[in-house]
Structure 1
């Protein structure tokens, strides 16, 4: 138990220390609201919800086009999860896999886990618990004509966050095409309104 706590603390410190370095990168969004991808590109946001008592997690993924409309969404449960950082990596992999299976070839994958995004944008070999998942994601990335990984603040990742939270008690995976559950749809509409307002300023 002590080893697990130490691993969690070390991972947290690494992510916190990396934050200052990553804010100078072009792969970081400084916006507090969701930003639309370029035309003909679909942005897949991902997030996770971790329950330490049951060691389970739920990942939420949503793909939106340049107008902010939902193209696809999913929620996937995970069991026997090691720590809070592993489900974020699972969520990112699910976003990439889901984008591929949905037939999108030009995508942006965005989440609020700095650690995951940093590892995906690095060529350095490392031995973290999420490295095998990161490696899988990089292999999947070869199937796209264009793909990039971006870090976003929590406020810019709200629809995926809502999906992960709302489906924590759901026993199995759920998928939606060109729609999403009510709470996520409301969150998406709020993003679209903020986007429209920012474009008129």
Structure 2
């Protein structure tokens, strides 16, 4: 897998998402960071979730939050990146997911049909660091709705 460039091409945005799960308390958080072609952060989000199912649940919620942010802001061309290869793979396929997070992934797929140009890509955690830290802090309930 080739490492994606740190910034998106001109006219596109890069949306990095990540989820965090704390098994001892069954809560979690998500982090989203959006950068323009200059690498400037133009938006970020962190949100705490009580009563979480799993790490994958939080990863899927992070994708949904990133996509909904793009819809709300009217962004039409973006690269959506995560270090969760499982969710990336599911969203790249046109198959029904019957897992306990299938409805979240179905929402994501449905929302994505409204965009003109997007790519979903797996990246290593090092390339997803800011979203990872936001998700971790949100899972501790230190950050919410930033």
TM-score (norm 2): 0.92
Aligned partners of 1:172, 1:159: CA distance in 2, in Å? 13
Displacement of 1:64 after TM fit?
Answer: 0.4
Higher strand fraction: Structure 1 or Structure 2?
2
Q: In the alignment, which residue of structure 2 is the partner of 1:174?
A: 145
Partner of 1:129: 100
SS of 1:85's equivalent in the other structure is: helix
The number of equivalent residue pairs is 146
For residues 46-80 of structure 1, what are the alpha-carbon distances to aligned partners after superposition, in whole Å with 9 as ceiling and x for unaligned? Answer: 01111111111110000001111001000011121
2:12 is the counterpart of 1:41? yes
Q: Which runs of 5+ in 1 are unaligned?
A: 1-22, 24-29, 176-201
Residue 87 (structure 2) aligned to one of 106, 109, 116: 116
Structure with greater helix percent:
1
State the shift of 1:170 in Å.
2.8
1:91 to 62, 67, 81: 62
Q: Distance in 1 between matches of 2:142 and 2:7?
A: 32
1:67 and 2:3 aligned: no
Correspondence for 1:106: 77
CA RMSD of aligned residues (A): 1.7
TM-aligned CA deviation for residue 34 of structure 1: 6.0
Deviating runs (4+, > 2 A) in structure 1?
Answer: 166-173
- Tell me which structure has the larger Cα radius of gyration: 1
